[in-house]
Amino acid sequence: MTTGRPSGGTDPGPATASDEPARLLVGGTEVARYVLAPALDERHGPRPYLHPVRTLGGTVVTDALPADHVWHLGASLAVQDVNGSNLWGGRTYVRDVGYTWRDDHGVIAHTGEVERTPGRYAHDLQWRDRAGQVLLTERRWVAASMVAPDAWRLDLDTVLTAPADREVRLGSPATNGRPGGAGYGGFFWRAAADGEAAVFTVDAAGEETVNGSAAPWLALAGTASGGGAYTLVFTGLGPGDRWFVRTGMYPGVCVAFAFDDPAVVPAGGSRHGRYGVLVADGTLDRDRAAALVGTMP
């Protein structure tokens, strides 16, 4: 696959000054870089994404363009089936057929900057199909703030709005017939880990138990390739959302919009999301993770 700017209807358009990546700082330290207009092959699901994201101690906790799933882009919003368009990247899961390469890849395009400060960024986006038709419009806010000497918080707020004349269906491989709890698609974080990461909630642990759950928070603890230990604590499930988790095949956590059934944004209506991630140095236990979650609004 190539990594040049995609051709055809998925091209986000010419770069402008406001396309420059946004840098999120906490106490003067850069903790995340937000890539707004990546020049990627259309099959990788071009979209804004956060990478690298770092702990306050400097450990990188995201991965982007990994060899096993090239379309995993740090932390981002992505859905594999948006009214039949693949805005996740990679092959599309087709019922009774399986994963198939199709010419169905769209783009989530940055269209305008609203706010840029050291700790906060806001912008407008369009979710487009392969022909350039707008499937959804979005306003998104990303912010970083200090929580403790060894932890900071990333907040991502989003409002997705459907066109006035049609509803928008958000689906996943699971809703299209794939077994095994593959209900991914939503706010997805591809973590960086050397070896298998550990995952736990307030009352459960392990991929098989946690995947598909609706726990109020979920923690993933791993060790980065440079040897730094870290813990990520996620919040933000909305009505009908579930946690999609992988630790064996790769380390990843997703607030999944369509784990069991498609999610529908009604014509002219909106879908609101607020996702929080605590990014901490070291390996946190359940009590410490719960205590940090308690500091979140």
Print pLDDT tens along the chain (297 aa). Answer: 333 323 334 454 554 547 899 999 999 999 999 999 999 999 999 999 999 999 999 999 999 999 999 999 999 999 999 999 999 999 999 999 999 999 999 999 999 999 999 999 999 999 999 999 999 999 999 999 999 999 999 999 999 999 999 999 999 999 999 999 999 999 999 999 899 999 999 999 999 999 999 999 999 999 998 889 999 999 999 999 999 999 999 999 999 999 999 999 999 999 999 999 999 999 999 999 999 998 887
* pLDDT score of 225: 85
Sign of the CA dihedral with 201 first, then 206, 207, and 213 last: negative
* pLDDT score of 226: 83
Asked if residues 185 and 80 have their Cβ atoms less than 8 Å apart, the reply is yes
* pLDDT score of 297: 74
* pLDDT score of 141: 98
* pLDDT score of 13: 53
Query: What residue type is 218 in one-letter code?
Result: L
Q: Which CATH class is domain 8-293?
A: mainly beta
Three-state SS sequence of the chain = CCCCCCCHHHCCCCCCHHHCCEEEEECCEEEEEEECCCCCCHHHCCCCEEEEEECCCCCECECECCCCCCCCECEEEECCEECCEECCCCCEEECCCEEECCCCECEEEEEEEEEEECCEEEEEEEEECCCCCEEEEEEEEEEEEEEECCEEEEEEEEEEECCCCCCEEEECCCCCCCCCCCCCCEEEEEECCCCCCEEEECCCECHHHHCCCCCCEEEEEEECCCCCEEEEEEECCCCCCEEEEECCCCCEEEEECCCCCCEEECCCCEEEEEEEEEEEECCCCHHHHHHHHCCCC
* pLDDT score of 295: 81
Question: Is the peptide bond preceding residue 52 cis, with omega within 30 degrees of 0?
Answer: yes
At 9, give phi and psi (nearest 5°): -65, -15
List Cβ neighbours of 74 (8 Å cut-off, separation of 6 or more).
35, 49, 50, 51, 52, 53, 62, 63, 64, 189, 190
Here the tokens at position 121 are 């960024």
Q: Which of 215, 185, 184, 181 is nearest to 199 (CA)?
A: 215
Residue length, the chain? Answer: 297
Asked if residues 239 and 259 have their Cβ atoms less than 8 Å apart, the reply is no
Q: What number of other Cβ atoms are within 10 A of residue 66's Cβ? A: 14
* pLDDT score of 296: 80
